Chain A
Amino acid sequence: MLRVIHLTLLCLLVSRAGAESWWAFRPLKQGSPPNLPGLKSPVDQFVLSRLRDQGMTFAPKASRETLLRRVFVTLVGMPPTLEEVEDFLGANPEGAWERQIDALLEDPRYGEHWATMWLDLVRYSDSDGWNQDAYRPHIWRYRDYVVNAFNDDKPYPEVVREQLAGDELDGDDPEHLEAAGYLRLGIYEYNQRDVRNLWNDVLNEITDTTGDVFLGMSVACARCHDHKFDDITQKDYFKLRAFFEPIIWRDDLTASTANEKERYAQQMRKWEAATKAIREEIADLLKPYHERKWKSTVDKFPLDIQACFHKPVDERDSLEHQMAYLVARQFEEEGGGPLKNMKKEDEATYESLKKSLATYDKLKPKPLPPVMTATAFDGTHSPTVIPEKSEMVSPGFLSAIADDSSIGSQKSRLSLAKWIADPNNPLTTRVLVNRIWQQHFGEGLVSTASDFGRKGQRASHPELLDWLAHEFVRNGWSIKQLHRIILRSWTWQQSTSHPEARDYQKRDPEEKLLWRARVRRLSAEGVRDSMLVLSGELLDEVGGPGVDEDVPRRALYVKRFRNDNDTFLHAFDMTPGLKSTPQRNETTTPTQALTMINGDYVMERAKAWSRRLQDDERSEHWLVREAMHQAWGRKPLPDEFHSAMTFIETSQGSWTDFCHVLLNSNEFLYIH
């Protein structure tokens, strides 16, 4: 206790001392790039002028081969095939780079790759978490929404509005409810009776995540006390949470237009009329089982929760309604469902009734696509209360950035989304632009991408960050245009080797000044996808429900379970989907070595690849060169070629082993 008081006092002093407003909360600066002659790219002008201040300069440009591999991995998440390399190197160099960028940005693989960054941020997973970790059969529609948003280059404000408030938007675009799946991405425990606390955790967690994702501010500290380092009060936290307070989880909605719904209902009425008698018979048969299960389900909850459940819907407030929802879910999901232990004779009757019902299936309309989503409660919204203080708070914005006068009377999530996606919000564009930059360079201009607060790092190039944010808005919030700006720069295209590296490293050991490119490992998905490209097994299918690990689709589509942390992808630092992750770790572990050199998965890919290679009946020399070229995107050096030939000769032509070694090699696993 003493310690807590101590810390609080200390922090009061800290915040007094740093009372002037924090850089990230100040409006964006309208600077123009320093005018350095001979440089076309404004990015380069900013970066080079910083370098020149230190008497430094850029590294030379990387080779075209290197750049092609780098841009493929950066934009579509996998290296080019040899045909793609030849196309590029053989093309008229004039404008070839720009054309290549445009082609990759139009490639559907682009959205599949960039979606991962966003899915990590929103802690996307295909499962519930907790213990049962049940598969969520419909949440993939949210994943596909994200993929499509990148591929369509949907302006960022729309993306923000649809995810935070898709249910509140006008029109009947089915994507809106899919996007509002954002509100369902947290974890859920299927057999929790303490649903009041469960729901409290859910609301807090979505508040934390929203602060991380959209504002790049860790607000979670302020849940228990005013933030110790940043100007976020506990009240700010609960104002933010209040936007989410009246949410009701919905599993009864579909991603369809009003027309589609109407057509469906018409047909459904026909089926219902034809099957009325059978359905009534079934209902009578199941009635005692349902009653029994309802009773046993509801009885397990604390009495106040039971009261919520028994209250008529139009008398409930939003919290009571959500409590009732959580009770009702356990009717089906917990303890084996209502029909467990059915009497033998009833089971037989039920089976035959179901058969008769099935004879009418031709009348039944095709089901509309179900979505996992949420909407605001249509009735009294329960208040948000700061615990222990019993202070009620209305929805509102972070007080250090905005006053709440702009909020309007609606105070809905849509107003939150509009405030976030306002070009004048000093955090939103800086945070997003920085996230994109991070994916290109391995590190953001602000290296703590989800912490723009005082505990985070300051921007290495603040003027460049603000300039990019302005350009981003000026270009209609287009992320693709942002890629073009970055990719056309020398800064991006420079080599990982610099003739003055020895000297520069002493002066700028963290390479913050961007005097050369960084060597980076492929992501978990990149490792798996690249192997499947080489082995020729990768299926060219986009979107749809998740698949099992052994299906050769892109890793994006492999079902992600929150409790399974020991898969191939996790060994290479894929996120577990539990917390918003702005940047993955890049670890090097013996587990990786073991799974790569001994595990079945990589061995099988090596076999498939070597079979494919040997389809061409060529000389050993040719095969060795070809395999190395395919794996590394460059021809082998004489020394490498010689070692490879010796290996092939002494191992009596074990092509699988050779391919396996190449899949393990750093040249394959890293880009430079």
Chain B
Amino acid sequence: MVFNRREFLQTSGAGFGSVALQWMLHQESQGSPHPLVHHAAKAKQVIFLFMEGGPSHLDLLDRKPLLEKLSGQSLPPSFKEPITAMGEKGAALLAAPRTWKRHGQSGLWASEWMPHIATCMDDIAVLKSCWTNGINHAGGVCQMNTCINFAGRPSLGSWVNYGLGTANENLPSFVVLCDNKGRPVNGSRNWGSGFMPATHQGVRIRGGEGEPIADLDPPAECPEDRQRAKLALLQKFNYLHASTFPQKSELEARIRSYELAFRMQAEAPEAVDLADESEATKALYGMDHRDTEAFGRNCLLARRLVERGVRFVELYSGTGSKWDSHTGIETNHSRLCRSMDKPVAGLLKDLKRRGLLEETLVVWGGEFGRTPMSEKGDGRDHNPTGFSMWMAGGGVKGGQAIGATDELGLYAVKDRMHVHDIHASILWLLGLDNMALTYDHKGRPERPTINEGDFNRKLIGA
């Protein structure tokens, strides 16, 4: 046959995980868990912790003594005034009244707003010089997911799914969890597959009560034995039909897709059922406390999902732009930090003690940071020109800070990392080269990072 396998998969791959074809591919390449990688992978899977709305790097990880000093004054003329989302002109600088400490052997700084994550700093590489293009949430969230602020491209999880395929075809290989019932800015488009087939898009999973995946359970009026009888009749019809048209592989793929759906009905609830987790484990994630229960549950689910071969898990914290703190940042951030800090630290510790952290890349960050200038007196506006993220596990050398912003934390100045570089780095750690991973679309070899972006080798201590 003359098709290229990847191309074949694009249109005929039959599932989140794939069905017949990725299975074929898997069979072909047994022995190698990553059939399509470009170089030796450090990580097998990613957990992306998305602080939606934009957490303040100035209050969490990027300590700026000058900001304390100049608090209440206007931005010194040596700093170029940026275009801001809310457009407040000449606003005074706002101090970050935090207690800062150095942590671990590495002595990295963290504020009192993240006391639990602070105990993991030796596993964490802080990226202090991130920057992005969009000044608004829609553009920022879109870019952090798809590498560009303009809608229409596949999300990072889709690229990973496309590049690596699945490790467990009974579960979707790209999963999204939100910490409330709301929807993140841009909705499901954030985990969409853009111009790639829907095979590669993310699937939103819900923990707690109800179906973990939409339409996972048979209708209430249709008990299991009836559902079985229906599926048996359906498959009978479909086998007869498929035997008439052997040239159409999709017909067989569809037969398998029902089998897979049926297996998923069994496997997905097990994956999200926390009954066999000990109370101690749940407490480690903060599930025993109201403030940390929701995100703690999602973090624990993330661990269970990556254990079962899910490639890319994205967790939204503050779903629906809750980290956005144009006013009253003290109240807003102290509440959100509390909801996120212990669960995230619990996740890192749990992954580590199970030996999973080595192969699981954990990424933390929002769509942008916040301005050193105040907004409405006690808030901060969006800052896309300089902010912090961090990575841990998956081959990342912990206990280091990479890059720096200027003295007020407004612009990234040293070792700047654009979203292109951040995505390129995540892909690299997974064994994928951002320039070699291509998808032909309308005459262009499309690449996940839009022909830009470099792996920052400092991440692996090089």
Contacts and interface: CB of A to CB of B under 8 A. Distances in A.
Interface of A: 3, 129-133, 187, 189, 191-194, 201, 205, 212, 217-218, 220-221, 229-230, 299-303, 448, 450-451, 453-456, 496-497, 501, 505, 509-511, 518-519, 521, 562-566, 570-571, 573, 576, 578-582, 585-595, 597-600, 603, 637, 639-640, 643-644, 647, 650-651, 654, 657-658, 660-661, 664-667, 669-670, 672
Contact of A594 (B87, B138, B214): B214
B87 A593 contact: no
A586 B47 CA distance: 30
Contacts of B137: 131
Interface string B209-237: 00001111111001000110111011011
A171 B257 CA distance: 56
Nearest to B138: A131
A119 to B, nearest CB: 16
Interface of B: 1-3, 10-17, 19, 83-89, 135-139, 141, 150-152, 185-189, 192, 194-199, 201, 203-204, 213-219, 222, 226-227, 229-231, 233-234, 236-238, 240-242, 244-245, 247-248, 250-251, 253-255, 257-258, 260-261, 264, 435, 440, 442-445
Contacts of B234: 597, 661, 664-665
Contacts of A130: 136, 138-139, 151, 186
A566 B188 contact: yes
Contacts of A511: 247
Given A588-B14, A589-B199, A519 B248 contact: yes
Nearest to B231: A597
B138 A667 contact: no
B151 A578 contact: yes
B136 A131 contact: yes
Given A509-B2, A562-B151, A665-B241, A300 B86 contact: yes
Contact of A665 (B19, B86, B238): B238
Contacts of A193: 83-87, 135
A562 B444 contact: no
Contacts of B264: 590, 594
Nearest to B454: A3
A640 to B, nearest CB: 6
29 contacts: A192-B135, A193-B85, A218-B442, A218-B443, A451-B443, A455-B444, A496-B245, A509-B2, A521-B250, A563-B187, A564-B188, A573-B197, A585-B10, A586-B250, A587-B11, A587-B14, A588-B253, A589-B16, A590-B15, A592-B257, A593-B257, A594-B213, A594-B264, A597-B230, A597-B234, A598-B218, A599-B214, A657-B229, A670-B251
Nearest to A592: B257
B442 A451 contact: yes
Given A588-B14, A664-B258, A665-B234, 10 more contacts: A576-B151, A578-B189, A578-B194, A587-B199, A588-B12, A588-B254, A592-B254, A597-B234, A598-B216, A640-B237
Contacts of A672: 245
B237 to A, nearest CB: 5
Nearest to B435: A3
A661 B233 contact: yes
Nearest to A563: B187
Nearest to B85: A193
A658 B216 CA distance: 20
Contacts of A639: 240
A565 B188 contact: yes
Given A657-B226, A664-B234, A565 B151 contact: no
Contacts of A667: 237, 241
Contacts of B442: 212, 218, 448, 450-451, 580, 582
Contact of B16 (A230, A453, A501, A590): A590
A141 to B, nearest CB: 24
Nearest to A584: B197
B237 A643 contact: yes
A670 B198 contact: no
A564 B214 CA distance: 14
Contact of B198 (A187, A448, A589): A589
A650 B187 CA distance: 44
Nearest to A211: B442
B243 to A, nearest CB: 11
Given A519-B248, A665-B237, A657 B199 contact: no
Nearest to B216: A594
Nearest to A130: B138
B420 to A, nearest CB: 13
Nearest to B440: A455
B151 A187 contact: yes
A598 B244 contact: no
B257 A565 contact: no
Nearest to A450: B442
A194 B250 contact: no
A594 B265 CA distance: 9
Contact of B185 (A131, A300, A660): A131
A571 B198 CA distance: 8
Given A221-B444, A590-B261, A666-B251, A129 B151 contact: yes
| Best-buried of B2, B16, B17, B233 by chain A (most CB within 10 Å) | B233
Contacts of B255: 666
A510 B230 CA distance: 35
B14 to A, nearest CB: 4
Contacts of B440: 455
Closest 7 CB pairs of A and B: A300-B87, A451-B443, A131-B138, A578-B152, A563-B187, A593-B261, A455-B443
Contact of B201 (A505, A565, A582): A565
Contacts of B15: 588-590
A565 B189 contact: yes
Nearest to B219: A603
B11 to A, nearest CB: 6
A310 B96 CA distance: 38
A582 B441 CA distance: 10
Nearest to A667: B241
A563 B186 contact: yes
Contacts of A230: 443
Contacts of B11: 585-587
B261 A661 contact: no
A110 B156 CA distance: 39
Given A564-B187, A585-B197, A670 B248 contact: yes
